[in-house]
Chains A and B, each alone.
Chain A
Amino acid sequence: MITMPRYDPKTAVEAAVMVREAASAGCVLRLVGAGTWLTAGHSVQADTELSTEQLAGITQYRPEDLTLSAGAGTTIAELDEATRAHGQWCPLLPWGDDRGTIGATIATATTGPFAERLGRPRNLVLGLECVDGTGRIVAAGGRVVKNVAGFDLTRAITGSWGTLGLITHVHLRLRARPVVDESWTVEVPSGARAVIETFARGPFAPLACVNVAADLSPASSPDGGGHDDDSQDDRLWIVRLGGNEAHVAAARAALRAIGTIRPSAPTVWDEVRRTHAPTARALRWRWDALSLRLRARFDPAQVLNRGLLGEVA
């Protein structure tokens, strides 16, 4: 395969120049982060790659405010390490692995095992900077934890798969790591799915609760429809409990009443995330009238990721 020419902007201003040039030359740019997941199963007929690799690094971290800003090319691993040192974390830890970038996580709105309890990209991204398809540098939202100033460009761009703009910089809300943080492998009797799901929705709601097969691979199909006909798949769960001593002790007791539990190393989550990595398949993107208009307003020439979401040019 022939390697595509590649742009590596170091700043949003450089990226904006590249996008404007591509637009006037009629080129299509394929946006890439670490190149680990950004595929929606449709092919992009691109001339050039536009990479966030040089837009990397933590630019501001205020542990006392539980907020952090980073270049889009910053890896999940780097964020995790920097925040861990302060007893905090960015719970966006997506399905897949830690080589992926925060920019791609937000661009694809990829969630992970902690999404239900601790928030998804749409809940945890406070603001972002992006270069849209017309070369505008858009500084959406802000760095503080509550903000309703102006129309919500942050939500529009989050999860847009780079079809509205190249995310260059993000501002995130962090969480404190719980004082006690335990992971357990729980085996419940077959057919007890409802019991553990009730536990997960109750007062002891764990940080994460994932149904797995014996080798930790997904026990259910990726689109959420479990193999209901095969009750074997209901039995094995990885559960993460967090809170103060007394809370976790009570939660552990409640879990023990549901099934057999044995401790797991915290690293089990890396493995669960890896084995649950999204597979490349064609997204059935909702191209309704509003969505087409949104694309047209932010990237009228379809310079960015043309065809990725199966849109008709």
Chain B
Amino acid sequence: MTSLAAELGRIVGDAHVIARATQLLVYRSDALPGLQRAPALAVFPGTRDELIAVVRALAAADAPFVARGAGTGLSGGALADEITLLGLHRLKRIIAFDPIGRTATVEPGVVNATLTRAAAPHGLHYAPDPSSQTACTIGGNIAENAGGPHCLKYGVTLDHALCATVVLPSGEVVTLDRGDVDRDDGTGAGYDLLGAFIGSEGCFGVVVDVTVRLTPDPERVITLLADFMRVRDAADATSRIIAAGILPAALELMDQPTIEAVESSVYAAGYPRDAAAVLLIEVDGAAAGLEDDARAVERLCREAGARGVRVAHDAAERARLWQGRKKAFGAMGRVAPHLVVQDAVVPRSRLAELLDEIAAIGERHGVRICNVFHAGDGNLHPNIPYDAHDATESARVHAAMQEIMTLCIAAGGTITGEHGVGLDKLPYMEQLFTPDTLDAMCSLRAVFDPDRRANPGKVVPVRACREWHGAVAARPTAHVAVAR
């Protein structure tokens, strides 16, 4: 063991430090296939004090590190390339729960769905609901500014985090409080450091605890499934619903290849297999007036060309319809061993035309694209099942993805709506942002992590940072040498 491993072992106990290469293989990937990086060392603090002590020991050793929650990220953001991996899954206590004030304070390793389960007896839930919510952690959600189907109405992680205690890479412990900014008398009293931190992909520091807002369960929920014979009609229905001033809790689109994968799997939800696309639409809120909204949604879908619209009759049917959506990625495991879950956002009004173009890109490259996405937000997830061990197929997938990203940027969109940049989207950052803007992002990072030891090499290409440009060569990427 190296001296760093020994030092970390003294803090967390040797049982919670992994230095053997064979054991570290587990941490070589996150949920993005095709990219693998093995950490040199992994450490798993079990308490707040241990976490802070670990970060301070890393600072003292000038050792770079990568924080990791459940490893469900889809952009390669939690990969540690020959450096220390800081696993947070043991920090899973719900520290405080206030059902009256509707807040909870949790450690970073608390699983998203666990928090909602804990809130359920009080008629509350945690609103951001990524598809990976049964596994992903709140700490990871903060790092990625995670979204989910119900973010259409309820907003993303940023809209639900109130205050965080954070240990900076230097070992300083700071409190980032939204209350500094959100004074409703119009007199904010501080910079929105919490807002800057959320979505920083582990490059600014590590969450020690975070206080989030809990949302009251709606009085009533109505879930509809509309099916269409043309994908563009489903996209058109989406625009019509939003334009009518109805704000559904969720508005999800799944196309035929996705429907087929789901219906062939154990998650079969009863989607019509012969439909070109289905929309899963949920309206919720006060019971009074909700049926009128549901009827309006049904009418708008039919006007856009829906063949049929079905309303879930009970909670069990609703759960089944949603399971198909949330497990769609898993269901694609039947189609091919690997799956790229892509993420991009386009202006909602251009969905129909862009979906046609994405289909054409798929055909040109001979890859199969399955669309399952948050149509109401214009947040696309063009997914490609493939075999990562097949080099030529991987190359075709990569080329298709590049074209899709370029298409979304040209349409006035962005390269990621909720999955983050990580390593995967790094090449597109210079396509999307000006050199001045990328440089300003580096400045923002430097406020929190001037030595760029937290998740180095992610989010912003180092060459885009003028002040670091000269210093890069001088900085070795790996500080930890471990005997394998």
Contacts and interface: CB of A to CB of B under 8 A. Distances in A.
A62 B412 CA distance: 12
Interface string A209-250: 000000000000011100000000000000000011111111
A158 B192 contact: yes
A8 B327 CA distance: 55
Interface size class of A (residues with CB under 8 A): 35 or more
A251 B413 CA distance: 38
Given A64-B349, A179-B245, A244-B292, A158 B184 contact: no
Contacts of A286: 180, 189-191
15 contacts: A65-B348, A108-B186, A111-B182, A148-B199, A153-B196, A156-B191, A203-B216, A244-B296, A250-B288, A278-B187, A281-B187, A290-B191, A291-B193, A294-B447, A297-B444
Contacts of A155: 158, 192, 195-196, 198
Given A156-B444, A244-B289, A245-B289, A283 B189 contact: yes
A224 B179 CA distance: 13
Contact of B289 (A63, A123, A250): A250
B243 A136 contact: no
Contacts of B282: none
Contacts of A94: 186
B158 to A, nearest CB: 7
Contacts of A262: none
B345 A145 contact: yes
B68 to A, nearest CB: 18
Interface of B: 144-145, 147, 151, 155-156, 158-159, 172, 174, 178, 180-193, 195-196, 198-200, 203-204, 216, 218-219, 239, 242-247, 285-293, 296, 345-349, 374, 377-379, 412-421, 425, 429, 432-434, 436-441, 443-448, 459-460
Contacts of B425: 149
A148 B181 contact: no
Nearest to A136: B436
B186 A153 contact: no
Contacts of A281: 187
A117 B124 CA distance: 17
A152 B200 contact: yes
A110 interface: yes
Contacts of B190: 285-286, 288, 291
A119 B247 CA distance: 14
Contact of A284 (B189, B216, B345, B459): B189
Contact of A153 (B287, B288, B419, B437): B437
A109 to B, nearest CB: 5
Contacts of A108: 186, 188
Nearest to B436: A136
A221 B387 CA distance: 64
Contacts of A223: 183, 185, 187
